[in-house]
Amino acid sequence: MTGRTPSTAGKHCVAATLVALVAWAGLLRPATALDVTGYSPTVNDRFTGGFPTNPVPNTDPSFVGSGYDWSGVGWSTTIYAASSYKGLGLLSPLHFLTAQHYENGGLLTQGVTVRGKDGTLASGTNTGIDNLGYGIVVTNVGVTAPDLAIGTLAAQITAPSNMARNAVLDLNTSSTSPTYANYTGLSALVYGRGAVTNGSPRAGTAIIDMAGTATADPKSSIALTLRSGTPSVQLVEGDSGSPFLVGWTNPNGGEELTVIGLNSAVSGSYNVMSFLAIPGAMNAANAVMTPDGYALRVQGNSSATWEGGSGGPSTQDDLSRTGNWSSGSIPTDLYVLFNGTSSAVRAIDVNAATNLRGLSFKATGTSGDGFTFSGASGLTIGRGGLTNYDSDRQTFSASLVLGDHQYWDVGSGGVTAAAINTNGKLLEVAGSGTARITGAVSGTGGLALSGHRLELTGSSSYSGGTWVHAGALVVNGTIASSSGVSLDAGATLGGSGRVGAISGAGAVGPGNSPGILTATNVNPSGGLDFGFEFTQPGAPTWASGTASGNDVLRLTDPTTPFTTALGASNTIDVYFGVTSLSLNDTFQGGFFTDASGDFLSSIQSGSYTYYVLGNGLGTAKTYNGQGYYLLDTTFWPSFESVLVSTVSVASADFAGGTVTNGQVLQFAVVPEPATLGLVAVGVALVAVARRRK
C-alpha cells in the first residue's frame, strides 16, 4: 500500500476564515507544547518520565486520562521538529489514523510505537498511507488534500489482546447521514506533544463548541473547540495528527477512550479537528482496513433496552413489539442493550425482519441469564456489531445479515450463531471466549479472528478472505470457497474440515487431537509452522477425519500442493503419542497430497523437532491438552535417527472420496547414520531415542 492523494484533492473550497491558517498549518512553527489552560504535569502529562524509550504511566487520580486504557494511542518513531514525537491513534493492530498534511512532509516511512497493556513497547514500520477523502482541506509542501488518512504497518504491531481497540464514537442518528449536533457541547480530550525534547505527551479537556462542515461539502467535516475558558486547550505546531478523543461510558458502565477524529489546524482561538465519526469517513476507513482483515470498531449509546413481557404469551417475546422495549418503540438502525437481570424474557423471537446498528449484552454477575434469538425472520446487524460484556453465552439461531463491516467482542461468555449472510461485508471476531458459527456463512464477504477461538461447523459458501490475526480458528465444516486462510504469527488453524489455500506466519495443526484437515495448498514462504500428532504406528485411519489416529494435512491441488518448498524458518513439530520408540517403527501422516508426485523436496528442508510422551528431556510441552517431552538421546544406549520420506498410498478412502496413488509423509526409526549407507543420501536426519532395553 502506498501513500496517495485522492483525485478530488483541491476541489474543495475551505471557508474564508480558515484559508490562511490551513494553507499555513503545515509550515514550521516555534517548538512549543500543547497549550493547556492551567497546565499541571500531574493533571495533564500522560507519562511521568522515561518517554519515549521507557515511559512510566501517570497513575495519579487527578490525571485527566485516569481510568482509561491508553494502549491504543501510540507515537511516531520519527522525531518531528527536533523535539516532538507525533501522537497516533491506532484503529487496529495494523492501521493508524494520521493527518495527510503531516505525511506530505516526507515522513511516509515513519514507524509507530505503542505501550501494550502488559507494559512492553512494540514498534511497527509504516508501509504508506491512504487518504480517506474526508476532513478539513489542508495545504502542505504544495499538496492540498482532505486531512484524514490511514497508515498501514508492515505487520501487526502487537497481539490484538495487548492493545486497546479504541472504538469510533458513533452518535449519529442515522447510519447513513451525519448528525453533528450530537457532538456539539461534548467534553473531549485533546492530545498533543510535550514542551521539551522527549517530554511526555499531554492531554487536556475541552468542550466541542461547534461541529459541522467548513464548506457545503459534508466531506470537509470539522469540530471546533474554544481556547478561552476552563477547561480548554490550544493546538500548536507539532500537534497535528494526534487523535481527538472522548472519554465514553459504555453500555456496561465501563470507561473507554473513543476516537472521533484528529488534530488538523488552528484558526484564531479555535482548534480545528477533522471528524472521523461520520458515516462517510467511517466507510472510507473500512475500505482501507477490511482488505487486510480488520473492521473499524464502532460503538454508540444505547437508545433502547429490551424488556420483554409485553402482551400475552404469544407476543411477550416478539423482538418487533413496541411494548417490549424501554423506549416504547421498535428500534431501527439504533444501538440497543440487553440486560439479563432486568429483562422479563430472554428467549427472543425474531418475528419480523429487524435492523439494529449495534447490540450490547450487559454483565449481570450471575450465571444462566444469557439470551437466545430464534425465529423465521432475519436480524440485520449494522456497523456497531456486537459486544458481550456478560460471562454467559449469547445464542442466535435466527439467521443474521451483516448490514456493514463490523467487529464483535464476544467477551468471556462467547457467542453462538447459526447462518450468517456476510452481504459482502467483513465480520471480525474478538474476545476472550469462544465464538461458534454452526450454520452456513454465505455471501461475498469475509471472516477474521482477533480473539481466543472461533469454531466453524457448517458448510459455508462465503467467497471472501479468512484471516486469523490471533487465537485458534477451528474448521470442522467447510470454508473451501473462501479465497484463502491467512495466519498471523502466533495464530493457529485446526479442525477436521475443509479450507482453501493456507498462507501466513502462523501454525497449522490438523484435527482435534488428532484428525484430518483438508486444504487446497499451502504457501510456507511467510513462515508457516506445523504440528502433527501420531498416536498409532503405520497409516492413519483415512476414513475418519475426527479420529484418524495420526494428524493429516491433506492437500488437494493436483499440480502445486506446496507453492514453495519449506525452509529452515518453517518448523514442523512431530508429537509421537508413545512413551518411547523402537527400531523400525514407522508413522504415516503429516502431509498428504492427492497428487502422485513425490513431494519430499518440498518438505525436507523444514526444521523438524520430535517429542514423545515420556522419558524425555526437560519440562513437558502441552499440545492439544497432552504433555510431551523433547526426545533426549542421552537416555538410550545407542544413537538412532528418524528417516523422513514420502511413500505412495495406493488407496486412501477419505470420507469425501477415495484418492488413489497419493503421497504421504512417513517417519521411520532407523539405525544410526553410519549403517544407513546410501539409503539416507539427500534425506534430513533428526536425532531421536529408542526404547530402553
- Please write the tens of the pLDDT for every residue from 159-168: 999 999 999 9
pLDDT at 29 over 60: no
Given 292, 311, 338, the domain boundary residue is 292
Question: What are the beta bridge partners of residue 258?
Answer: 167, 246
For 628, the grid coordinates are 510431551
Q: Are residues 282 and 399 in the same domain?
A: no
pLDDT in tens, 450-463: 999 999 999 999 99
Number of domains in the chain: 2
Q: How far apart are CA 266 and CA 306, in angstroms?
A: 44
Q: Residue 519, class by beta-carbon neighbours within 10 Å (0-12 exposed, 13-18 middle, 19+ buried)?
A: buried
Q: Are residues 273 and 172 in the same domain?
A: yes
pLDDT at 137 over 80: yes
Question: How many CA within 13 A on the CB side of residue 576?
Answer: 30
User: Is 198 a domain residue?
Assistant: yes
Q: How far apart are CA 394 and CA 403, in angstroms?
A: 20
Q: Are residues 453 and 576 in the same domain?
A: yes
Q: 4-13, 259-268, 453-462: which has the minimum mean pLDDT? A: 4-13
Tell me which of 377 and 29 has the higher pLDDT.
377
CATH number at residue 156: 2.40.10
Average pLDDT for the chain: 89
For 660, the grid coordinates are 488413489
Given 292, 309, 324, the domain boundary residue is 292
**Contact, 188 vs 206, CB < 8 A?**
yes
User: Is 424 a domain residue?
Assistant: yes
Given 292, 321, 348, the domain boundary residue is 292
User: Is 332 a domain residue?
Assistant: no
Selection from 495, 464, 501 nearest residue 482 by Cα: 464
pLDDT at 138 over 90: no
Place of cell 439479563: 340
Q: Which domain holds residue 272?
A: 16-292
The confidence band for 102, taking pLDDT boundaries of 50, 70 and 90, is confident
Place of cell 431501527: 332
For 471, the grid coordinates are 487465537
The confidence band for 33, taking pLDDT boundaries of 50, 70 and 90, is confident
pLDDT at 552 over 60: yes
Place of cell 489546524: 265
SS3 of residue 77 by DSSP: strand
The confidence band for 110, taking pLDDT boundaries of 50, 70 and 90, is confident
Tell me which of 268 and 527 has the higher pLDDT.
527
Selection from 609, 630, 611, 610 nearest residue 619 by Cα: 630
- The mean pLDDT of 171-180, rounded to a whole number, is 96
User: What is the model's pLDDT at position 25?
Assistant: 38
pLDDT in tens, 410-463: 999 999 999 999 999 999 999 999 999 999 999 999 999 999 999 999 999 999
Q: Are residues 417 and 287 in the same domain?
A: no
Sign of CA dihedral 609, 615, 618, 623: positive
pLDDT in tens, 484-505: 999 999 999 999 999 999 999 9
Q: Are residues 394 and 275 in the same domain?
A: no
Q: What does the buried/exposed string (b/e) look like for 355-369 if buried means 16 or more CB atoms within 10 Å of the residue's CB?
A: bbbbbbbbbbeeeeb
The confidence band for 107, taking pLDDT boundaries of 50, 70 and 90, is low
Task: For residue 675, give every residue at least 6 positions away whose Cβ sits within 8 Å of its Cβ, in sequence order, or none.
Answer: none
- Range ranked top by mean pLDDT from 65-79, 624-638, 672-686: 65-79
pLDDT at 606 over 50: yes
User: Is 369 a domain residue?
Assistant: no
pLDDT in tens, 318-345: 999 999 999 999 999 999 999 999 998 9
The confidence band for 231, taking pLDDT boundaries of 50, 70 and 90, is confident
User: Is 306 a domain residue?
Assistant: no
For 604, the grid coordinates are 525436507
Task: For residue 156, give every residue at least 6 positions away whose Cβ sits within 8 Å of its Cβ, in sequence order, or none.
Answer: 93, 94, 124, 469, 488, 489
pLDDT in tens, 235-249: 988 888 999 999 999
- The mean pLDDT of 671-690, rounded to a whole number, is 38
Tell me the residue type at 227.
Answer: R
Write out the DSSP string of 614-625: SS-EEEEEEETT
Q: List the Cα angle 154/108/192 in 5-degree steps.
A: 100
- The mean pLDDT of 120-126, rounded to a whole number, is 96
Q: What percentage of the chain has pLDDT greater than the value 70?
A: 89
